[in-house]
Amino acid sequence: MKLAYLDQTLKDGLKKNQSIAVILKAHQLTIAPSTVYRDIDMSQLSIKNIDLKRKVICRQHYTHKPKAKPMTYEYLKGRTFIEFQTRLICYDF
């Protein structure tokens, strides 16, 4: 797909206050809206974030997931299956 054609099509649609998804669907462009947003963020198109209706208003949400701590397996040293079997022989049930 030509980037210049996509850029001009998006400009015309944004002047009519259409969203990116509506513009892509109306012109039957086979590109995902997320790709268009990524291209706008990377300045590959002449459209800026300020030109988008909701991109400036809506704040981006971040998740604050706890970081995974590295597991230590020190407590498993010396606990092989052979040692387990020898302990079972020592204990008569």
Going from the C-alpha of 11 to that of each of 17, 24, 88, the distances in angstroms are 10, 12, 77
Mean pLDDT of all residues in 77-82 = 83
Give the pLDDT of residue 66. Answer: 85
Quote the pTM value: 0.59
CA atoms within 13 A on the CB side of 48: 1
